[in-house]
Amino acid sequence: MTTATKETLGFQAEVKQLLQLMIHSLYSNREIFLRELISNASDACDKLRFEALHNGSLFESDPDLGIRVSFDRTARTLTIADNGIGMSREEVVSNLGTIAKSGTREFFQALTGDQQKDAHLIGQFGVGFYSSFIVADRVTVVTRRAGLAADQGVRWESEGAGEFTLEMIDKPARGTEITLHLKEGQDDLLSGWKLREIIRRYSDHIVQPIVMKKEEWQDGEQVTTGEDETVNQASALWARPKSEISDEQYKEFYKHVGHDFDDPLAWLHARVEGRQDYTQLLYIPSHAPFDLWDRQQRHGVKLYVRRVFIMDDAEQLLPVYLRFVRGVVDSNDLPLNVSREILQESKDIEAIRAGCTKKVLGLLEDMAENRKEDYAKFWQAFGRVLKEGVGEDPANRERIAGLLRFASTHADTQEESVSLADYIGRMKEGQDRIYTVSADSFTAAKNSPHLEIFRKKGIEVLLLSERVDEWVLGNLAEFDGKPLASVAKGGLDLGKLEDEAEKQAQEAQAGEFKELVGKMQASLGERVKEVRVTHRLTDSPACLVADEHDLGGNLARLLKAAGQKVPDSKPILEINPGHPVVQRLKHEETRFDDWSAVLFDQALLAEGGQLEDPAAFVRRVNALMLEMGSR
């Protein structure tokens, strides 16, 4: 017999905050608490089935897994019980007292105090068990982990304030029972009809049978009988023919498998037969999870083998750049005792991964073509992640490139809506390149001096300001036969976009300013690789460009910020022969070195660089202004 005393423990600070949100939340749909608890119970059954593959004794002579929902009108309680894996004392404290989820701090920082907006955020975060407190003012959990002795049962109880109680108890049967002591005003949940309606709406797809006591009308009132009945269909949704599944059922299954409150943007359901035999039901969420940018966090789909759950987050089934996809893959060929290590080396998995990737990219292509508003939502949520695929998946590089969206000088807005195909469709006659400029912010890219000649001639340039864009440029040399070219690298050759008169004028200017160029190069010394006359500027006096095969300034800064060693390369200073400052320099004698240095430093600042000696720059500018003012 267990004689342990009751302990009182405090919740993690974030849990306290979340519980307050639950208790005071104006949820438009309070019924989701039942979906969440049944979903957790289903996961517990799946986990037991998987662990029992290696240890059959965990079934404890009770191999038929299921979920039971019951209520007591007199006590005003609602109970959800399962005979799944259960929890040990340590697991109870960990799972019900803390949120071990990356992105927790960011989630709470994002809360606004606006109940409607916060309810949406809570839905994104996924609250599972804590949603019980939407309808209950006290929750009791009784559980025992499969394989532990009967006296290792645990009772957890809380009123949703700052603490919970914990005590060891005897529990002969494994699994978990959650009893909700309902708040005032929630009595409609003490109705078998109401509970059945909620279960069929939200949890019909759950694989395990959800049972309730049958109810019959006797003498004008509904009476609970001793007979069990299964309320849900209790079959794998993905195994049914598509023609038998409604959109609503697809959406509810997503909310279960994706632990999400919102509908998905799109989904695909396909049976693949041939060398590999598997079924895939994959979803594109409508928003990004909080841990999307944690590449160490396991993201993936659920793997089943012949309807038997094997693992959550089987990341080997999809490449990392598709880590936002949720859903199920059910294989008929893999062994039931498959492990993550086996998955990493399996040829079967490689084939499934390639097939799933192809299908997801096809789904995105269809959305981009036929549901442009939905694709814009997708891009806003997951565009930066998809860009990673340009470097990570050479086999699908061209398809991924076709799905990319950018800001450009065409609209001059921050909205990333321009595809590479759109750009090519608008190219000027004689234009043979896709022009890009990259900077550390949209404003810096939009106002880059390198764009001046392109704006003058009406040539569109893609404006890149995300860190991942440099990764894209490094791995995407061309698209549809058109090379991508940075407007801030190498000499500017507009080819057929310039007429012969312009080229002759440029050559004449280069000759006219040859002496000045040599003098500036001597003055700037080791700071530059070269000084030369440019025709890419119309308003600015000078700009910096990288040599054709050197790292661009923005990429070099990103690598330095990441602590990586950057090859030592010097920029090229290009001067605008038509600018008054450059014209003045031709005749400057006493302050030539100061003017040259200021021009270089201005060009460095304009492209987002940092000055090595800001104080010297300020002194020079002040001295030059005072001198000009005294004339």
Model confidence pLDDT, tens digit, residues 323-356 = 999 999 999 888 776 666 677 677 888 889 999 9
CATH number of the 241-374 domain: 3.30.230.80
User: Domain 376-495 is in which class?
Assistant: alpha beta
DSSP 3-state of 427: coil
Neighbouring-strand partners of residue 351: none
Q: 467-475 and 553-561 helices cross at what angle (nearest 10)?
A: 120
pLDDT score, position 26: 45
Give the pLDDT of residue 500. Answer: 74
Residue ranges, CATH 3.30.565.10, the chain: 7-214
- The 10s digit of each residue's pLDDT in 144-168 is 999 999 999 999 999 988 889 999 9
Q: How many CA atoms lie within 13 A of 207 on its CB side?
A: 21
Tokens at residue 579, please? 């600018």
Q: d(Cα 486, Cα 344) in Å, to the nearest integer?
A: 38
- Residues 500 and 566: their CA atoms lie apart, in Å, by 40
Q: Which of 248, 230, 250, 251 is nearest to 240 (CA)?
A: 250
Decide if pLDDT at 471 tops 60: yes
Which one-letter DSSP state was computed for residue 263? P
Predicted confidence at residue 150, as pLDDT, reads: 96
Evaluate the CA torsion angle 220, 224, 227, 228 in order and state its sign: positive
Quick: pLDDT tens for 404-462: 999 999 999 999 999 999 999 999 998 999 999 988 889 999 999 999 999 999 999 99
CA distance linking residue 233 with residue 204, whole number of Å = 6
CB atoms < 10 A from the CB of 302, how many? 22
pLDDT at position 4, please?
61
**Residue 42 is encoded by which pair of tokens?**
């289903």
User: What percent of the chain has a predicted confidence (pLDDT) above 70?
Assistant: 87
Nearest-angstrom CA–CA distance, 265 and 386: 16
Architecture field, domain 7-214 = 2-Layer Sandwich (3.30)
Provide mean pLDDT across the span 385-398: 94
Decide if pLDDT at 365 tops 90.
Answer: yes
Whole-angstrom distance, CA of residue 488 vs CA of residue 439: 10
Domain with CATH 3.30.230.80 in the chain: 241-374
**99-119 per-position pLDDT tens digit:** 545 444 555 565 555 555 555
Q: Is the pLDDT of residue 67 over 70?
A: yes
593/624 Cα distance (integer angstroms): 11
Instruction: Read off the pLDDT band of 553 (50, 70, 90).
Output: low
Q: Report the distance separating Cα 270 and Cα 368, nearest Å.
A: 20
Q: What is the pLDDT of residues 558-570, one digit of tens each?
A: 666 666 676 777 8
Rounded distance, CA 473 to CA 438, Å? 9
Q: Specify the pTM.
A: 0.74
Q: Mean pLDDT over all residues of the chain?
A: 86
Edge-to-edge order in the sheet of strand 77-82 = 7-10, 163-169, 153-158, 136-144, 175-182, 77-82, 67-72, 210-218, 221-230
Higher pLDDT, 142 or 613: 142
Return the structure tokens found at 631. Answer: 């004339």
pLDDT at 100: 46
What percentage of the chain exceeds 90 in pLDDT?
Answer: 50
Question: Distance between alpha carbon 620 and the CA centroid of its chain, in Å?
Answer: 47
What pLDDT digit, counting tens, does each position of 210-252 carry?
999 998 887 777 788 889 999 998 888 999 999 999 999 999 8
Closest Cα to residue 49, out of 36, 66, 34, 35? Answer: 66
Closest by Cα among 248, 234, 21, 47 to 126? 21
pLDDT reading at 125 higher than 60? no
Instruction: Tell me which of 174-183, 238-247, 252-261, 315-324 is least confident.
Output: 252-261
Ranking 189-198, 473-482, 487-496 by mean pLDDT, the lowest is 487-496
Least confident interval from 83-87, 259-263, 289-293, 601-605: 289-293
- Whether pLDDT at 29 is above 80: no
- Tell which wins on pLDDT, 612 or 399: 399
- Fold observed for domain 501-629: Four Helix Bundle (Hemerythrin (Met), subunit A) (1.20.120)
Contact 576, 538 (CB under 8 A): yes
**Once rounded to an integer, what is the mean pLDDT over residues 614-631?**
85
Query: Alpha-carbon distance 541 to 449, whole Å?
Result: 9
Question: Is the model's pLDDT at 300 over the cut of 80?
Answer: no
Which pLDDT band, with edges at 50, 70 and 90, does 69 fall under? very high
Do 283 and 266 form a contact (C-beta atoms < 8 A)? yes
* Cα–Cα separations (whole angstroms), residue 50 to 46, 205, 249, 284: 6, 20, 26, 27
The CA distances from residue 561 to 387, 535, 550, 580, in Å, are 21, 32, 18, 36
- Per-residue pLDDT at 94: 83
pLDDT category at 40 given cuts 50, 70, 90 is: confident
Q: Which carries the bigger pLDDT value, residue 154 or residue 584?
A: 154
Q: Give the C-alpha distances (Å, rounded to integers) separating 332 from 159, 265, 339.
A: 46, 28, 16
Rounded Cα distance, 104 and 290, in Å: 8
Around Cβ 521, how many Cβ atoms within 10 Å? 17
301-305 and 326-331 strand pairing: parallel
